[in-house]
């Protein structure tokens, strides 16, 4: 039942059966939770899934939660638990070094000190990067994304709260020109914002040019130009603009260049016009952000969000508007799922060579043997599911892909029950990364 519930969140447009399956499993799992003890292992898993399905969660946060839950399981595998704890602590140590680096950079900009009207949220901005890409080998990507996030948060407050219309037009023009000579026309606080953005973006472009021989500056500049645009009152106009104004496209374009090696000309052209997957991901982020912070942002003088736009247009109460926005999010997830299953990954983001201890390598070798020696398809799937929840699956990408391909192409799945088949689909979907 739980597998079926998780699989139902990987549906694509037009799959009415999985829509029905989601309703059916949700009702029955809610009944199960009410009847079972809250201390039971399975009950905790079900409650956790009902709160938010695994496909929508941040993998590193899920690993932290699941390690504690898995430890209470009566038939848990000590080897898996030991490796999960060791891996989590070692990767966290790398994240802490990344945060220190980001904190030194943020302090050097003096933006948090000079612009007291803006949100000073370095920790929050960095934490988000860990949710996007936690693997230890991507320190440069996390450090760069923390810079991008911090700059965008600051400039977002300039646009939404502090800057006058005339000042914002000057700032937008400066970004379009990308010329330091034009900076003289800006007020002092905007000079700080522009120069920080200018230096950071050029530094990122230089890093890629130096390491990969590809000039990405025109693409980063274009992403910045897309970002700086105004809001519009109707819901549809808001949605047409909001996926850009949330800044996610800027974030994702920068991330792509740091995890793709080598960066090809074909990929550059692909990113030049935002592909649908970036548009949809940005839309979900925008709408989810509206649901979570809309009222608070309005109180501090921000512009109207999707909820208020829909309330004004349709003359409904806030609760009804929130339900509508949640439906929009669900429909957008369907489009993303369809894209994920229909397209190969644009780039491989998993690289070997982590500086881990001998004990770590030994534990991974034992787990590889267990993956290879598991004879029953369901046993393989459950082991893969546990590895993913513990945050360990990135160590075994090739092995997991090989097993899933074998199961999918072979006759094993044909002989399993529907629930297990959908469980397979759920696990397979979670192993794919965009």
For the chain, residues classed under CATH 1.10.600.10 are: 110-342
Pick the CATH number of 110-342 from 3.40.50.150, 3.90.1410.10, 1.20.1090.10, 1.10.600.10: 1.10.600.10
pLDDT at 13: 80
How far is 351 from 395, CA to CA, in rounded Å?
9
How far is 389 from 61, CA to CA, in rounded Å?
10
pLDDT at 354: 36
How far is 338 from 15, CA to CA, in rounded Å?
11
Question: Cα 86–91–97 angle (5° rounding)?
Answer: 135
Question: Cα 69–380–434 angle (5° rounding)?
Answer: 80
pLDDT at 309: 79
Distances, alpha carbon 261 to alpha carbons 205, 244, 258, 366, in Å: 14, 26, 8, 30
pLDDT at 26: 94
How far is 274 from 334, CA to CA, in rounded Å?
19
Cis peptide before 30, with omega less than 30 degrees from 0? no
Listed residue (46, 53, 132, 79) closest to 390, CA to CA: 79
How far is 264 from 257, CA to CA, in rounded Å?
10
The parts of the chain modelled with pLDDT lower than 50 are: 226, 229-233, 294, 301, 345-356, 411-419, 431-434
Task: Say how many residues make up the chain.
Answer: 434
pLDDT at 233: 43
Helix axes 78-109 and 59-70, enclosed angle (nearest 10)? 140
pLDDT at 275: 64
Helix axes 217-227 and 235-245, enclosed angle (nearest 10)? 150
Contact by Cβ (8 Å): 236, 313:
no
The alpha carbon dihedral of 398, 399, 400, 404 has a sign of: positive
How far is 402 from 405, CA to CA, in rounded Å?
5
CA 78 vs. chain centroid, Å, equals 30
pLDDT at 49: 93
In terms of phi and psi (left: phi > 0; alpha: psi -120 to 50; beta: otherwise), the region of 301 is left
pLDDT at 347: 42
pLDDT at 159: 74
């Amino acid at each position: 039942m739980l597998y079926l519930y998780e699989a139902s969140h990987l549906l694509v447009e037009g799959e009415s059966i999985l829509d029905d399956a989601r309703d059916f499993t949700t009702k029955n799992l809610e009944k199960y939770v009410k009847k079972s003890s809250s201390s039971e292992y399975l009950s905790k898993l079900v409650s956790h899934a009902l709160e938010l399905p695994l496909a929508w969660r941040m993998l590193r946060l899920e690993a932290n939660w699941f390690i504690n839950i898995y430890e209470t399981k009566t038939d848990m595998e000590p080897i898996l638990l030991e490796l999960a704890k060791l891996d989590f602590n070692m990767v966290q140590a790398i994240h802490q070094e990344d945060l220190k680096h980001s904190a030194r950079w943020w302090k050097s900009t003096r933006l948090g000190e000079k612009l007291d009207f803006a949100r000073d949220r370095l920790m929050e901005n960095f934490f988000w990067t860990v949710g996007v890409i936690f693997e230890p080998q991507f320190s440069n990507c996390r450090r760069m994304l923390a810079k991008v996030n911090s700059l965008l948060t600051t400039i977002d407050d300039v646009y939404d709260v502090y800057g006058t219309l005339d000042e914002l037009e000057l700032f937008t023009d400066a970004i379009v020109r990308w010329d330091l000579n034009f900076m003289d026309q800006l007020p002092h606080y905007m000079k700080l914002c522009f120069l920080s953005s200018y230096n950071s973006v050029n530094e990122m472009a230089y890093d890629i040019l130096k390491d990969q021989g590809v000039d990405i500056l025109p693409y980063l500049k274009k992403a910045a130009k897309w970002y700086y645009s105004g809001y519009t009152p109707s819901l549809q106009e808001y949605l047409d603009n909001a996926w850009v104004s949330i800044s996610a496209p800027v974030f994702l374009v920068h991330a792509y260049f740091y995890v793709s090696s080598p960066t090809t000309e074909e990929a550059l052209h692909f990113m030049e016009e935002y592909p649908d997957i970036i548009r949809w991901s940005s839309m979900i982020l925008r709408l989810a952000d509206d649901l979570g912070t809309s009222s608070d942002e309005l109180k501090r003088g921000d512009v109207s969000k999707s909820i208020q736009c829909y309330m004004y247009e349709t003359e409904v109460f806030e609760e009804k508007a929130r339900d509508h926005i949640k439906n929009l999010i669900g429909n957008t997830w369907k489009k993303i799922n369809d894209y994920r299953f229909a397209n190969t990954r644009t780039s491989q983001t998993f690289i070997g060579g982590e500086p881990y201890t001998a004990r770590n390598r030994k534990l991974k070798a034992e787990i590889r043997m267990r993956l290879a020696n598991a004879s029953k398809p369901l046993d393989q799937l459950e082991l893969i599911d546990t590895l993913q929840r513990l945050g360990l699956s990135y160590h075994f990408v090739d092995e997991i892909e090989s097993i899933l391909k074998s199961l999918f192409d072979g006759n094993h799945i044909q002989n399993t029950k529907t629930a297990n088949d959908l469980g397979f689909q759920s696990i397979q979907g979670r192993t794919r990364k965009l």
